[in-house]
Amino acid sequence: MSAPLSFTAATRTVATRELTERLRDKSFWMSTVITLVILGAVLFMPKLFGDDNTFTVAYAGSGADAVADAADAQAKPLGMTLKRAEHPDEAAARKAVADGKLDAYVGANKVIVKNELDDQLGIVLQNAHRQVVSTEQLHQQGLDPGAVQAAQTVTPLTVDALEPTDPKAEQRGQVAFIGSIVLYGQIIGYCMWVAFGIVEEKASRVVELILSAISTKALLAGKILGIGLLGFLQLTLIATFGLFLGNATGMLQVSSDLLVPVGFVLLWFLLGYAFYSAVFAASAARVSRQEELQNVIGPANMLIMVSFFASFYVNFNPDSPISRLLGMIPPFSALCAPVRMARGTAPWWETGLALGLMLAAIGFLVVAGARIYEGAILRMGAKISLKDAWFGGRRRAVDAAA
């Protein structure tokens, strides 16, 4: 009744199981919801707390109305809203400022604020004040303020940048940085699933039954592909949700420009996952109990952590020589490259080199990882040394036999 089963068919069967079993797992949906909630909170937070562009200001003195009008006129192009408050006297205004109900109280020749004058509000108020007072002074000296103003109206210098920075580079970089943080979670989470899955098969001993039917490589490939596909789908869902929410809250102006960093994050998920899943799989195959897993995957975990912190450095110093190196050299490039590349400031050869080096590293790790996996997977009991696993292929495996 059984028929020949190709490597591809065996791999696909294993991958399908990995995917469907995990889709049925409550913890998968929990983690998806939690990730979305956190991402939502990050995108909503500024909306809830930091509506920084509305200020309450009170004016005093004879020119109060004029200053207020001038300030409103100044604020509008900057996207600020000024709400005018009335206070009977300076004492009442001081109290309101102290209580935080009033952002600024503009009196004759002074501004009263609580801690410091907001930069933008400062510019608006100083300009408004200068305009009103200078008009008054011109009047006093018998000059026509209109003529003076006309004389002072000069077309601003046009800027001709030789190497212009893309105004959207910063936004792309920020999106890629948030993406990189999510990427860190995805890579570590899904590689852990690969590791857990492998130890589960060893610990439950089901692996011998499976390997009596299909090849070791088909089992390994199916597991990594199935779990990786799920991770990719989840990451796509998170990215779509993030862009949608960012657009809805006005945090991001979603355009085709923002698909660049998102695309980089997805691409580097594939590369980073391929890199680390091979390491995690080879490590996990060496032990037969979940308790020992932390032990063997510690170094790989550490590598991801270091890459993660390096991506912060790259985000703050995107063009430093160290950042350029971190963006090119595996394994750091897995998390650092998207941050740097999404800005569009990296020359094309850098992107190409980063991809080439990563692909070469993956090629090596997949071959070496598969060999270690093959040498260790059927050997139950104590932890298998790397050397034993390396030289222990199926031919010599199962020392434990009786």
Partner 1 sequence: MLELRAVTKRYGDRLAVDNLSLSVEPGKMFGFVGTNGAGKTTTMRILMGVLEPDAGSVCWNGRPADADARRGFGYMPEERGLYPKMRIRDQLIYLARLRGTSPEKAASAVDELLAEFGLSERAQDRVEQLSLGNQQRVQLAAALVHEPTFLVLDEPFSGLDPVGVDALAHILDQRVRRGVGVLFSSHQLDLVERLCDAVGIIGAGRLVASGTVEGLRTKGRLRRYRLLVSASPGWSQGLPGVSVVADDRTPEGTASTLELADGVDPQALLDTARAAGSVHEFRPLSPSLTELFREAVSESPSNGQADAASDLDAEQVVA
The residue length of the chain stands at 402
Would you say 387 or 396 has its CB closer to partner 1? 396
Closest-CA residue to 74 (of 123, 110, 116): 123
Q: Does 395 bind partner 1 (CB under 8 A)?
A: yes
Nearer to partner 1, 21 or 144 (CB): 21
Other CB atoms closer than 10 Å to residue 391's CB: what's the count? Answer: 12
CB of 277 to partner 1, least distance (A): 20
Q: Determine which residue in the list 361, 378, 384, 389 makes contact with partner 1, applying CB under 8 A.
A: 378
> Applying CB under 8 A, does 1 fall inside the site for partner 1?
yes
| Contact (CB, 8 A) for 340 and 327 | yes
Three-state DSSP class for 3?
Answer: coil
CB-count exposure of residue 12 (10 Å: 0-12, 13-18, 19+) = middle
Least separation in angstroms between CB 246 and partner 1: 37
Residue 339 or 397: the one with the smaller Cβ distance to partner 1 is 397
Residue 258 tokens, joined = 């923002």
Which of 70, 282, 354, 380 lies at the binding interface for partner 1 (CB under 8 A)?
Answer: 380
State which amino acid sits at residue 293. Answer: L
Q: Which of 8, 17, 45, 244 binds partner 1 (CB under 8 A)?
A: 17
- Work out whether 28 is an interface residue with partner 1 (CB under 8 A): no
Q: Which of 46, 69, 44, 51 is nearest to 59 (CA)?
A: 69
Among 77-85, 231-239, 365-373, 374-382, which window interacts with partner 1 (CB under 8 A)? 374-382
User: Least distance in Å: CB of 226 to partner 1?
Assistant: 12
Cβ 103 to partner 1 shortest distance, Å: 58
> Cα(20)–Cα(230) distance, rounded to whole angstroms?
9
**Site for partner 1 (CB under 8 A): which residue of 91, 151, 157, 401?**
401
37: which 2 tokens? Answer: 């909630």
Q: Is the distance from CB of 215 to CB of 10 less than 8 angstroms?
A: yes
Q: Nearer Cβ to partner 1, position 264 or 373?
A: 373
Query: Are 222 and 12 within 8 A, CB to CB?
Result: yes
Residue whose CB is less far from partner 1, 206 or 306: 206
List 56's β-bridge partners, or say none.
Answer: 83
Tokens found for residue 350:
């850098």
Q: What tokens appear for 76 in the block?
A: 């509008």
All residues at 6 or more sequence positions from 309 whose CB lies less than 8 Å from its CB, including other chains: none
Whose Cβ is closer to partner 1: residue 80's or residue 218's?
218
47 vs 394 by CB, closer to partner 1: 394
Binding residues for partner 1 restricted to 161-220, rule: CB under 8 A:
200-201, 204-215
* Listed ranges 11-19, 88-96, 290-298, 353-361: which one lies at the site for partner 1 (CB under 8 A): 11-19
Residues that bind partner 1 (CB under 8 A): 1-5, 10, 13-14, 17, 21, 200-201, 204-215, 378, 380-382, 394-402
